[in-house]
Amino acid sequence: MEPIFIFIFSLLLILILTAKLRLHPFLGLILTSVITGILAGEASTTIETITTGMAKVFAHFAIIIASGSIIGLIIHRTGGARLIANDIINISKKPLFGLNILGFIFAVPLMCCILAYVIFIPVAREIRIREGLPKVLTASVLVFGTLASYNHVYPSPVVYSAINELGINSSDVLIPGIIIALIVSITGYVYAMKFCKNGEIDDFIIDTETETETNDLSGRIAAYFPITIPVALIFADVFTNIALFDILGEPDMALLIGVVMAIFFAYRQYTFNSVREWVEKAIKRSGVVILDMCGGGALGATLSMTGVGQEMGTLLSKLPLPAILVPFLIAVAIQSVQGSRVVTMLVAPSIVIPLVPVLGLPPEIVLFSMASGTFLISHFNDPFFWIYKDLAELETSEVLKSYTLGGAVMGVTSLMLTGVAYMLFY
């Protein structure tokens, strides 16, 4: 069967299994991955491809997600997340916009939009409770902020992975990337405020009866340190050459240090059994998230096995399209197939670079055109899709409307801004 038809069939199948039949996402993704491998004519290697795809995702995200879940639940139960949320509300007249900018600022230094979301989703949850807002609204303004900067701003892995391939000086894309990213982040915020305001407002607050709200110095240390110390360590690793930070600033290690700090501060106020129960609950909750992510990794691996990304890229390069659309659509095709933005920006240049002389575009414009394409089309094989869904406790349909469609709007906005920059400055 033709790769493109396999791709379309796989998307429809996972949509039916998870959204229509409400099958658990992990099982739906694995079943779809098996069928995709068989249709690709690779039945003998399908299971190996699935397990390899799962293993890569697990290796990259398991410790981060589990650690973030533990930190988040502990600071929530001890009242720390509420204190941070109160600070954002008190400082900003628009707390949701403050949440959007929070994600925007931290995604690049953390080198992971997913990590920024995992760290700050407890704060989004507290703002939701305090202000009586829909779950999807608070989660979406945060996630859009993380995506905007991560997809555009050097030295994000998305940008860093492509500038060497295209021979671009980082100083030539830093300021333009920040400007484009900021406008795109605000676009995501406006989209969320317009189209994500009618979601479910639950009574999650009933789960906070064990919280202790405190505004003294010790309470603020317990609230902020488990979050800020890991962030500071990761920053130090990125911006210094000190060997110690190569170890302590590695995201897995940094988040584990945050876990130890959160547990230590919690033990000063609560019993051993209480804290142990919170840790166990957090690990169980993160296990569901990690399984869903691994399912997405399996689907991405089997779709890549079909060769659909290369076929779609070759097809698009032959169509009579405006030059600026070609890198964009090639990135869209690859992103749709395998789900990872970093992988997209590693693969897309290999297809686009031979076309650059024909396209006649400056390499900086090629870069931002491809970066715009990484917003589309984020769906079931994107690990962030499932992290966003599970940590915000959303339905699949809500994720498609907010994360997928909102991301598409941001990607198109980014492409338009890239076109404007091309006309004005090149």
Residue 210: the pLDDT is: 46
Most confident of 64-68, 110-114, 231-235, 242-246: 242-246
Residue 414 pLDDT > 90: yes
The domain total for the chain is 1
Answer yes or no: is 340 within a domain. no
What mean pLDDT comes out for the span 346-352? 76
Judge if the upstream peptide bond of residue 8 is cis by omega within 30 degrees of 0: no
Mean pLDDT lowest among 46-50, 105-109, 225-229, 297-301 = 105-109
% the chain with pLDDT above 90: 35
Answer yes or no: is 321 within a domain. no
Residue 209: the pLDDT is: 42
Residue 275: the pLDDT is: 93
Integer Cα distance of 96 and 82 in angstroms = 15
Residue 45: the pLDDT is: 93
Element housing 65 (H / E): helix 46-77
Q: Smallest Cα–Cα separation from 282: which of 22, 18, 78?
A: 78
Answer yes or no: is 135 within a domain. yes
Range of the domain at 130: 3-308+373-425
Answer yes or no: is 102 within a domain. yes
Integer Cα distance of 363 and 178 in angstroms = 17
Integer Cα distance of 357 and 393 in angstroms = 47
Kindly report, residue by residue over 151-198, the tens digit of the pLDDT. 998 878 788 778 877 889 877 888 899 999 999 999 999 999 999 988
Answer yes or no: is 190 within a domain. yes
Kindly report, residue by residue over 70-82, the tens digit of the pLDDT. 888 888 788 887 7
Answer yes or no: is 354 within a domain. no
What mean pLDDT comes out for the span 305-318? 74
Band (216; pLDDT cuts 50, 70, 90): low
Residue 58 pLDDT > 80: yes
Q: CA dist 82 to 86, 131, 203, Å?
A: 6, 11, 16
Answer yes or no: is 328 within a domain. no
Provide the terminal-to-terminal Cα distance of the chain, rounded to the nearest Å.
43
What mean pLDDT comes out for the span 305-328? 81
The rounded mean pLDDT for the chain is 86
**Whole-prediction pTM:** 0.74
Kindly report, residue by residue over 358-390, the tens digit of the pLDDT. 888 999 999 999 999 999 888 887 889 988 998
Kindly report, residue by residue over 235-269, the tens digit of the pLDDT. 788 778 899 998 998 888 988 999 999 999 999 88
Band (207; pLDDT cuts 50, 70, 90): very low
Answer yes or no: is 362 within a domain. no
- Between 411 and 396, the more confident residue is 411
